[in-house]
Amino acid sequence: MLDLSDRKSCFYWQTDRNLTVEDYDKYFLRRHELSDLEIKNILNKGIKSIHNIDNIEIISPNESILKGNVNIVRKIKLNDDAYVARMHPRGIKNGYFFVEKLALDMARNNILVPKVIEIHEAIDESDMDYVLMTAVDGITMDLTIKENPNIEGALLEQAGGIMANIHKIKVDGYGSFDNEIAKCENKLVGLHTNYQEFIWCGLEENLQRLVAFNVIDELQSKKLFDIFNNYNFEPIDVPRLIHNDFADWNILVNEGYISGILDWDECHGGDPIADLACWSTFFDMNRFEKFVNGYCKEAKLPSDFDLRFHYYRLRYTISKMALRVKKALVDHSEFVKEKIQVGRVALIEEMDWFNTKM
């Protein structure tokens, strides 16, 4: 079993794990090759919280369900009741499901999220780690907008307000949470004593990787290194719950309103502005104004917002590019090629922004 449960040295665990390109291919690119029969057998043997299961139906996945990078996600029916199963690829122990459950429980007071019914930990190589949760009505925000572009502005403002409400939740510690503490003590505790320590996780290696893949040169790497040496940001008051993957494909919409926030696998404790910066790396910046308008209806931005925002946006861009160039060795899709080009442009833009400040 490949154990990826320790996130102490990770800014983003996919980027900062010592995974070979063959590992990416075997565990992640091919994860959906698992048959429905295998999924049924694994669920049937593992589920303990629902008794007398007469029938397990695996619903064929749609475009949004297949879009993720890590888990095998399936809508299922157990005795005709709807659920969702999120499964780590066979042979992988990621170990963040107990954190996710607590984050969902904490968020449920103000935010529409699914409820975790059960967490199963694999007992051997033939088994799989998975979480069983309630199903939420709706389709993902990206598909909703694709079908009805006129609704985009309203949904962006709704989404911004929801992110701000997530950030009202206070947590202990910084960075990724300790899954063992979440499991054994039922509380979220960050693995770091300050946020800067988390921001620096993997940074030097990420820059070295971008140089090795000719994304940047040595001089640019030094300039980027200097930026992170010159600035140091911590949350304004205390660490807050950060979703960290608040993308359209992780937001469900039902009848014109956001009905659920999904996929908390990257949540951590830190600075809310980092969440806004992460969101901005997914999309064209022309969407950002409406999203922030919705955010500011629920929360106030700090006076040094611009500097914080670009600092975090630069860190996310470096991490995402470090992952993409490595994945591109085995994933030759046009999607990955396009993402690398988008990342190159974003990296140049952020370096140019800091050149005017230094």
Regarding whether 275 and 147 lie in a shared domain, the answer is yes
Number of domains in the chain: 2
pLDDT at 54: 84
Q: What band does 23 get if pLDDT is binned at 50, 70 and 90? A: confident
Regarding whether 340 and 205 lie in a shared domain, the answer is yes
Which CATH number fits the domain that encloses residue 321?
3.90.1200.10
Regarding whether 25 and 55 lie in a shared domain, the answer is yes
Q: How many residues does the chain have?
A: 358
C-alpha gyration radius of the chain: 20
pLDDT at 194: 98
In eight-state DSSP terms, residue 64 is T
Domain boundary among 118, 134, 150: 134
Regarding whether 290 and 169 lie in a shared domain, the answer is yes
Long-range contacts of 287-294 (CB under 8 A, 24+ apart): 287/152, 287/156, 290/153, 290/156, 290/157, 290/160, 291/156, 291/157, 291/159, 291/160, 291/163, 292/160, 293/157, 293/160, 294/156, 294/157, 294/158, 294/159, 294/160, 294/161, 294/164
Q: At what angle do helices 305-327 and 203-212 cross, to 10 degrees?
A: 50
pLDDT at 245: 96
Q: Is 70 exceeded by the pLDDT of residue 114?
A: yes
pLDDT at 66: 60
Q: What band does 305 get if pLDDT is binned at 50, 70 and 90? A: very high
Q: How many CB atoms are located within 10 Å of the residue 258 CB? A: 20
pLDDT at 17: 85
Which CATH number fits the domain that encloses residue 86?
3.30.200.20
Domain around 108:
2-134
Regarding whether 252 and 348 lie in a shared domain, the answer is yes
pTM of the model: 0.94
Regarding whether 310 and 229 lie in a shared domain, the answer is yes
Q: What band does 52 get if pLDDT is binned at 50, 70 and 90? A: confident
Domain boundary among 109, 134, 159: 134
Q: Is 80 exceeded by the pLDDT of residue 32?
A: no
Regarding whether 209 and 122 lie in a shared domain, the answer is no
Using CB atoms within 10 Å of the CB of residue 32, give its burial: 0 to 12 exposed, 13 to 18 middle, 19+ buried: middle
Portion of the chain with pLDDT greater than 90, in percent: 77
Beta bridge partners of 131: 86, 119
pLDDT at 71: 86
Q: Is 70 exceeded by the pLDDT of residue 125?
A: yes
Q: What band does 22 get if pLDDT is binned at 50, 70 and 90? A: confident
Regarding whether 78 and 152 lie in a shared domain, the answer is no
Regarding whether 245 and 165 lie in a shared domain, the answer is yes
Regarding whether 197 and 121 lie in a shared domain, the answer is no
Six token digits for residue 346: 């974003």
pLDDT at 358: 65
Domain boundary among 102, 134, 166: 134
- Mean pLDDT, residues 280-284 taken together: 91
Regarding whether 145 and 130 lie in a shared domain, the answer is no
Rounded to an integer, what distance in angstroms lies between the CA atom of residue 119 and that of residue 152?
35
Beta bridge partners of 140: 252
Regarding whether 164 and 120 lie in a shared domain, the answer is no
Portion of the chain with pLDDT greater than 70, in percent: 98
What are the pLDDT digits (tens) for 214-264?
Answer: 999 999 999 999 999 999 999 999 999 999 999 999 999 999 999 999 999
Using CB atoms within 10 Å of the CB of residue 53, give its burial: 0 to 12 exposed, 13 to 18 middle, 19+ buried: exposed
- Mean pLDDT, residues 100-113 taken together: 94
Determine which of 32-41, 79-88, 157-166 has the lowest per-residue pLDDT on average.
Answer: 32-41
Q: Is 70 exceeded by the pLDDT of residue 13?
A: yes
Q: What band does 68 get if pLDDT is binned at 50, 70 and 90? A: low
Q: Summarize the chain as % helix, strand, coil (round to 5).
A: 45, 15, 35
On average, the pLDDT of the chain sits at 93
pLDDT at 67: 62
Q: How many CB atoms are located within 10 Å of the residue 108 CB? A: 12
Question: Could you tell me which of 155, 119, 144 has the C-alpha nearest to residue 62?
Answer: 144
Q: At what angle do helices 218-230 and 203-212 cross, to 10 degrees?
A: 160
